[in-house]
Amino acid sequence: MSEQISDRQQLSGGVLERVQAMLPARFRRGAAVVPVVRLAGVIGAVTPLRPGMTLSGVAKMLERAFGTRNAKAVALVINSPGGSPVQSRQIYLRIRQLAAEKKLPVLVFVEDVAASGGYMIACAGDEIYCDPSSILGSIGVVGGSFGFQEAIKKIGIERRLYTAGIHKATLDPFLPENPDDVARLKAIQREIHAIFIALVKQSRGGRLKGAEDELFTGEYWAGETAVGLGLADGIGDLRSTLRARYGDKVLTPVIAPASGMLSGLLGRRAPGAGSLSALDGIAALPDDLISALETRAIWAKFGF
């Protein structure tokens, strides 16, 4: 019974906080407002049944946060091991664009991990705070595949592939690995890595304290070390940091993803996509299983 009362109190408190944040300043008794957006999960569209974090999926939340009346800043809570470099950079750019338009500082709070693309998004913050046990960094690019050519031979399957364009079958997992294909892939990775490095340098500037051959190797660090290297600005949690800066009465309304009764009844939806039929869901199950394993592997890399 006491747990139910506590849950109700938390719910009513959250609703009250959101209502207070919308009131004119004269009715809020001087309380500062800092809307909070949570950005969590693997970045990029994984499968229809397991959508990852994409710009289309978070854009409305970001716009609502930066459009909050009387906001003093916007707080981002990040918990992501990375993913698509394109989606990571697009989310980063949208945050910086909105911050410039609304002239609001962005404070980032890292939970378990902000690595690879997750750290790229964290760089959208004017300041980055983390827990001593948070994982930050992994400023690099990775890609991989499997080779099945020997496996299909053993079960009597012959690969038949027809292409127009000599590189159309690059890195086909059912063909022997071609050194030229690998060289082309590595060249693309180096190009993307250079973009990532430039973004981190632009964001962190003179705060970076580590050498480039240490910071940009794809290595990652726990919170205290990350702060020492200049990848973060300090150790701190959202509540304590915002209270210290804006006072004990600071309002922190959480900007949640838009949801409705119909979307709940129809099931999960991919960002920017229509509802899934039952047959679509069944057909997507193998891909969904593979994506679940891949997602688990990405998190496991950082010990989670």
Please report, for residues 165, 171, 188, 200, the alpha-carbon distance to residue 168 in angstroms, rounded to integers and kept in the order given. 5, 9, 16, 33
d(CA 208, CA 124): 15
Calculate helix-pair angle for 85-102, 55-66, nearest 10 degrees: 20
Please report, for residues 68, 135, 144, the alpha-carbon distance to residue 242 in angstroms, rounded to integers and kept in the order given. 17, 22, 41
116 given a catalytic annotation: yes
Q: Which of 222, 251, 228, 221 shows the shortest CA–CA distance to 239?
A: 251
Which listed residue (60, 153, 168, 186) is catalytic?
A: 168
134 given a catalytic annotation: no
Please report, for residues 2, 29, 36, 112, the alpha-carbon distance to residue 102 in angstroms, rounded to integers and kept in the order given. 43, 23, 15, 29
Which residue has tokens 């022997």? 176
d(CA 121, CA 76): 10
Which listed residue (80, 84, 116, 291) is catalytic?
A: 116
d(CA 95, CA 84): 17
Catalytic residues: 116, 168
